[in-house]
Structure 1
Amino acid sequence: MSGTTDLPDAVGQRVLDAVVAVTSDLDLDQVLRRIVQAAMDLTGARYGALGVLDASGRERLTQFIPLGLTDDEVAAIDHWPHGEGLLGELIDRPEAIRVPEIADDVRSAGFPEGHPPMHTFLGVPVRVRDTVFGNLYLTDKAGRVPFTARDEAAVVALAAAAGVAVDNARLYGRAKQVGVLEDRDRIARDLHDVVIQRLFASAMSLMSVQPLVTDPGARARIEETVADLDETIRQIRSTIFALHTAADPDAPSIEDRLHAQAEAATTVLGFAPAVAVEVAGARSGAGVTDGSPSMPAEVADQLVVVLGEALTNVARHAAASAVVVHLGVTAHEARLVVTDDGVGIRAGGRRSGLRNMAARASALGGGCTAVALPDGGTRLEWWAPLP
């Protein structure tokens, strides 16, 4: 029992009002609920639902949005329909269906346990760009009378507009997501290129004037301020890498990230550090990526942050002319070695940076050491186990 008929002006106006209501929102979940409510209002249906088809083909219905049920009725239902019976008929043959009594129709498969009894039925497919997105299901028209051809025509017209509304909402959601990712990337760049560099320059300026200050209290205050700036820089670096991880599901290789960190330190060092990555005996280019089984994202993020802190320490304290960065990755361990040709570890010097790096390693079950080299310079080793 399917078919359509021309809509009288009054009904046509109601359909137009329903279309306006459905298309006035760009949030997909809200659009879907408005589609169901609008179809119920147009036909006088007591119950309504929209079943979203699973595009992957693994399931019949991947989402089911019901309206008209009380909280107790929802709680009593064993499970939502999966797409059998009349619902399955509409999936297999996406054409409008009207049934005067569900229980009498040979295509009916009954209801899940706890589902309230329903009698009259109207089902209409919702298409998005010529592809069936889902189906509208309406039951129990007011007055216990069957749904009419006019009801069907009104819901078919609504479904056509609903498909456009769904498409718009999905496009808007994707554009919004892209915008968020672009914003994250822009914020991360600004934090690194502007904020960190200015904080670093401020700290270096304070350190340069500290020897000229004779008042012990003022010198201590300068040292505390520099320490605060160090901690702020570390926190911003952690935020930057969290933003990059969230913004880029296809995260870059750890080699690329280490090179980027070394390049960022070139300005303050006055030279470019040499960076080498060795993976399971193969030289650079072995393809270790953040989040892969051999390099969990949490280890990769800490490696990059530690390298940034190590290069910062070299710039401030080592008076070095060269730095070599080496990352070795085996099946069981990631080990970062940073070697410089500077003045070595000074007796009585600040150790806060080394303690922070050691704490990061300890949190991952690894360790951190820094030793003075016989011919001058320092070798920092930082390692963490890999699962």
Structure 2
Amino acid sequence: MALAAAAAVAIENARLFERTRSGERWHRAAAEVSEALLAHSPIGEVIALIATSAREIAGADLAVVALPNPDGTLDVEVAEGEKAAGHPSPGYRIPVESVIGRAFSSRKNEFDFDWSLEGGPVFSAVAALPLVTIDRVIGVLALAWSSPGDSREGLQVAESFAKQATVSLVLAEAQQEQERLAVFQDRDRIARDLHDLVIQRLFATGMLLQSTSRGQNLSPEVEERLSRAVDELDETIREIRQTIFALHEPLTGPSTGVRGRLLNEVSLSGAAMGLQPGMRFVGPVDASVDDALADHLVAALREALVNVAKHAKAKKVDVIVMVKETNIVLSVTDDGVGINPDGFSAHSGLANLSARAQDLGGTFALERVSAEGGTRLVWQVPNSNT
């Protein structure tokens, strides 16, 4: 009897010791997440830290954090653990009928056995813990164990940590929105200063130069220089106005406006080319181009810039999108080696551009800028909104 009692006391002490250790891990993990929030770490890093901490304190082999999309579906944001082996991969769409999907829809903890996801390893047990606020579910934390016995020991502390993780994610979202608001306010200030101060001063300077050239006995060379200076000022004003438009584009995510889509295409192509093309809009592009024509316009711009990247060896590229009375005109000019005198092959991207323009009832032209080189591409199609 005495031996049995001593064994029971030893077992209970071991359990108390393990609970104490689990509590210490819980507090340490919560402190690390709080430190990340105070350091204004990106929300992605905070989510990754939550997954790692939850897996460690629960003794799990895999931790998955899934976040909802605007349409109500769930995507994997992060999967952490030595046995993850790339499964599930970030961005993987969670099946609605899975244990994670059920936890999201029911707002309750859900459990399953012999579980796997996206063709990954099979785990003996999994617990899906919804991260619930008063008005919504902001995500699901799933923990998987290879041994069912390990899940029983770690589940209780994991549930407590999930509640702490919910608070942390809410704070991280609020912090991110405050930072986004600060950036937008700063952008608005810059755009306002550019419009109210810089453009007005440049315009006044141009007027002063034009008045100086009138009624003065200036040599033709000086008049030509003054005229060029005024033209450069006008071009600078147009570029500043384009910058003002760009400052009002969204910080992240796809832009629904035509301008935003074209600017995004230029940015992506610029990264591939190793230089940033200049971009200018003439006329009310967003109001004049419908969605169907916008798709063609973006595709044409992409094809034109790919051609420049492959063949032109250019150091400067300028893109102009112009709205005329009845047409939309895309012009891409580079200072590269110039077009091939033999023209372009029937299977090239330029041939695709020509065919696309003809299908829309438009025209496609390619010309050499000068004897030294350079190419100007003009893609023109009827405006369906006129």
TM-score (normalised: structure 2): 0.55
Unpaired segments ≥5 residues, structure 2: 1-15, 258-285, 298-320, 325-359, 361-375
Secondary structure in structure 2 of the residue aligned to 1:133: strand
Which of 136, 143, 146 lines up with 2:141 in the alignment?
136
Secondary structure in structure 1 of the residue aligned to 2:144: strand
Rounded to whole Å, the distance in 1 between the matches of 2:70 and 2:209 is 60
Structure 1 residues 197 and 214, CA, compared in 2 at 3 Å: closer, same or farther?
same
1:119 corresponds to? 124
Secondary structure in structure 2 of the residue aligned to 1:202: helix
1:47 corresponds to? 62
- The alpha-carbon deviation at position 13 of structure 1 amounts to 2.8
Which of 74, 78, 81 lines up with 1:68 in the alignment?
81
Structure 1 residues 236 and 75, CA, compared in 2 at 3 Å: closer, same or farther?
same
Secondary structure in structure 1 of the residue aligned to 2:150: coil
Rounded to whole Å, the distance in 2 between the matches of 1:386 and 1:69 is 56
Does 2:206 correspond to 1:203?
A: yes
Structure 1 residues 80 and 166, CA, compared in 2 at 3 Å: closer, same or farther?
same
Does 2:236 correspond to 1:226?
A: no
1:182 corresponds to? 185
| Alpha carbons 1:127, 1:133 under 8 Å: kept | yes
Structure 1 residues 44 and 29, CA, compared in 2 at 3 Å: closer, same or farther?
same
Unpaired segments ≥5 residues, structure 1: 104-109, 252-287, 305-331, 333-358, 367-383
Rounded to whole Å, the distance in 2 between the matches of 1:40 and 1:34 is 10
Does 2:19 correspond to 1:14?
A: no
2:48 corresponds to? 33
| Alpha carbons 1:296, 1:386 under 8 Å: kept | no
Which of 129, 145, 166 lines up with 2:169 in the alignment?
166
* Counterpart amino acid of residue 141 in structure 2: L
Secondary structure in structure 1 of the residue aligned to 2:62: strand
Rounded to whole Å, the distance in 2 between the matches of 1:182 and 1:73 is 40
Q: Tell which deviates more after alignment, 174-183 or 33-42.
A: 174-183
Rounded to whole Å, the distance in 1 between the matches of 2:44 and 2:105 is 25
Structure 1 residues 91 and 6, CA, compared in 2 at 3 Å: closer, same or farther?
farther
- The alpha-carbon deviation at position 208 of structure 1 amounts to 1.5
Q: With CA pairs under 8 Å and 6+ residues apart, which has the higher RCO, 1 or 2?
A: 1
- The alpha-carbon deviation at position 129 of structure 1 amounts to 3.6
Q: How many residues align?
A: 262
| Alpha carbons 2:51, 2:141 under 8 Å: kept | yes
Larger-Rg structure: 1
- The alpha-carbon deviation at position 128 of structure 1 amounts to 2.8
- The alpha-carbon deviation at position 228 of structure 1 amounts to 1.2
Structure 1 residues 182 and 364, CA, compared in 2 at 3 Å: closer, same or farther?
farther
1:86 corresponds to? 99
| Alpha carbons 2:69, 2:75 under 8 Å: kept | yes
